[in-house]
Every structure is written in C-alpha cells, then in structure tokens.
Amino acid sequence: MTPSRILIFVAVCFFFFVSFCLAETDSIIVTEDGRVGMGNAAPRSKLDVHGSNPAEDAVVISKPAGTGHVLRVKDAETAAANDLVVIDGQGRVGIGTSQPTQTLSLNEDSGNVLMTFKYQDIYKGKIGYDAGIDKFVLGHSTSDDIVIDGSGKIGVGIIAPDVDFHIKQKADSYNGGLRLDNALGGNYWGLVHGGDDQFYLGFNSTLNVLAIKPDGNVGVGTNDAQYKLDVNGTIRGNNVSPSDERWKTNIAPLTGSLQNVSRLRGVSYEWIDDAKGAGSRIGVIAQEVEKVYPELVSTDNKGYKSVDYAKMVAPLIEAVKELNAALNAQKQLNEALQSRIESQETMNRQLIERVEAIEAMQ
C-alpha cells in the first residue's frame, strides 16, 4: 500500500471516528445536505446552534485588534457581494453599510431607511428617513406625525413645514392645538386655531379666556370681539390716550357744549345679562348720546351700540367753562346792580336829609 493510500485510509477512519463520537453526544452534527448543528441533532439551517447551559454564552466570536470586522453578512458568495450586516472591531453595527460610523448605522442606496415597530404583529409606528418626502419621520401607524426636513424645520401633523416649527392640528377644537398641563395633571392651558380661524387661549375647556380674530380684534372673556379690544368684565390699570397736538389737524373749539350736555341724561340701570355684571350701575344711554354727539358712539356688526365715555370729558369741560362764563357774567351784572342800588340809596339818604333840613327851617 502506497503512502498516499495509507494517508487517505487514516483520514477516512478519523472522520468516521469523530462523526461516531460526536453523534453520540449530539455536540456537532453534519447532515448529508451540508447542514451543521451544534447542540442540535436536527439542524434547520446551514448553521443551527442550541446552547444547553443557560449560564453560558451560546456563541462567542472574537478577533485580534485591527481593521477587520467581527461579523460580516453578505448577500452573495462573491468577494464583491454587498454587505447586509456588519459588526466592526469597535462594536459598531452597520446595516446596509460596511463602514458604520455610529453605534448603529443604517444605509439604503434606494428607498426608505426606516425602523418599524409592531405589537402582536400589528404595525404601530416607524422612525427613520422617508425617501419619498426626503425627510426624517416619526410616526404612528402609517402616518408621518413628526417630520424634520433637511433645513431643520420640524413639522407636526404636516409633511412640508414652512417655518422652523410648523403644527397642523388634527381637530379645530380643544382636541387639537397645544396643551400645557400643570405638574399635578389637573388644570391645563391650551392654544387652539379654531374652525372660525380665531386664535384661542383657553383654560381647561373654556376657549374664550383670550380670542383673537383674523381682523385683529382681541376678545378677553368673549370669543366674539367687536372692537380691537373687547373685554367682557372690569378693567383696572392706568390708561392713557394719544393726544399730542403734533398728531392733529383742523383743531377747533367745541361750541354749545352746555346746551348739548343739558340734552343728555345720566341714569342708573342694571344689565340684563348678568355676565356683564350684577347690581346697579350708572351711565348714559348710547342712543341718546348718538343724537347729540354721534362721534362718541360706535355700532358693532350686530347693531349694538357703545359709548366712548373718555371722550365725553371734552364737551363736559367746555360745558363747565360756558357755565362758568355765564356765572361770571351774572356776577358782574349783579355787582353792577348792587353798585347802582347803593348809589340810589345814597341819593335817597341825601334827599331825606335835605327834606328834613327844610322842614326844620320852617
């Protein structure tokens, strides 16, 4: 027997010996179709590893320090095949890339780069890059609830944000917008873009704490502001109005103010709507003021009238001045009459003295 045949015989015997020994313990099994089982007598894949000791690692892969990968999974057997999954020497994982730069790097040459999440095999959410809209997305179910575009703009409920932080409400009520709860989770404030295109600041479920209309009218305590500032309640504070002479033209003094003010009534009244305040109030009637000073009365789009009480000061000032002038004139007239009376009394006394003197001479 030649040396080569002796070597082949020894190798065959060794193979059968190892196979026999391993088959008894099921440590390593090699099936006829090339499947390898470790700890598994019936491997279901090319390599099927079953650990038998819960306290030990099932598979340990190690390599010397260097630029090579600890693990590399390719899509074909050729050297030019694409890397599906790699783990580099620093423990960084690459999916779709052979050069991971972060702890987990994902790459897709065409299409989305997304991680999806399921619960009981039901799709619940996703996070990653959506190539269809060229944005980073975070969403529940199939919607893109939050997106970030390449310029850093963030969209919530909208896939094409126009500004740095762009929100599209899911509803035009307190079910949409922004909500800020306190630390205890009881009360909350909310910002809502209403279906009527008003901007609302509300407390809990009350939307009319502050309401701003598209025309700029602001309502406090009302969501139907008829003026630039429409307050349903009492205002306290210091108030000033622009009145510089340099802003004015066609300046003329008021005339006939005393007569006009005399046509007005000061009245006491109570509001029909208790929301405007309870109890007795004092003031004027807008319809009566409008007949005398129409510039002091405004009418909203529902026909209700309001009086600019502050501007009523001007005719009252002139009315007081006219009354004072009349009183001064009356005073001067009285003083003149008093002087004439005193002169007449002096003449009367002198006449009486002369008569008495004549009578004494007779």
Read off the pLDDT of residues 183-202 as tens digits, 9 standing for 90 and up: 887 888 888 888 889 999 98
Residue 322: count other Cβ atoms within 10 Å of its Cβ: 17
| Burial of residue 105 (number of CB atoms within 10 Å: 0-12, 13-18, 19+) | middle
- Give me the number of domains the chain comprises: 4
d(CA 122, CA 272): 59
Residue 344 lies in a domain: yes
What does pLDDT average to over the chain? 85
Q: Which residue range forms the structural domain that includes residue 294?
A: 265-307
Q: What is the pLDDT of residue 292?
A: 97
Residue 54 lies in a domain: yes
Residue 140 lies in a domain: no
| Whether residue 2 has pLDDT greater than 90 | no
Does one domain contain both 288 and 303? yes
Does one domain contain both 19 and 51? yes
d(CA 307, CA 299): 9
| Whether residue 338 has pLDDT greater than 90 | yes
| Whether residue 23 has pLDDT greater than 50 | no
Q: What is the pLDDT of residue 21?
A: 46
Residue 285 lies in a domain: yes
Does one domain contain both 299 and 270? yes
d(CA 30, CA 24): 13
Residue 20 lies in a domain: yes
Residue 180: count other Cβ atoms within 10 Å of its Cβ: 9
d(CA 126, CA 141): 8
Q: Which residue has the higher pLDDT, 173 or 134?
A: 134
Provide mean pLDDT across the span 237-243: 79
Q: Are 219 and 210 in contact (CB under 8 A)?
A: yes
Q: Quick one: DSSP state of residue 112?
A: -
Question: How do strand 267-269 and strand 188-193 relate by DSSP bridges?
Answer: unpaired
Lowest mean pLDDT among 50-59, 124-133, 223-232: 50-59
d(CA 260, CA 360): 65
Residue 93 lies in a domain: no
| Whether residue 7 has pLDDT greater than 50 | no
Tokens of 3: 């040396």
Token pair 């009145």 in the structure block, residue? 243
d(CA 200, CA 190): 8
- The size of the chain, in residues, is 362
Does one domain contain both 8 and 54? yes
pTM over 0.85: no
Does one domain contain both 298 and 333? no
Residue 196 lies in a domain: yes
Residue 14 lies in a domain: yes
Lowest mean pLDDT among 103-117, 168-182, 330-344: 168-182
pLDDT band at 4 (very low <50, low <70, confident <90, very high): very low
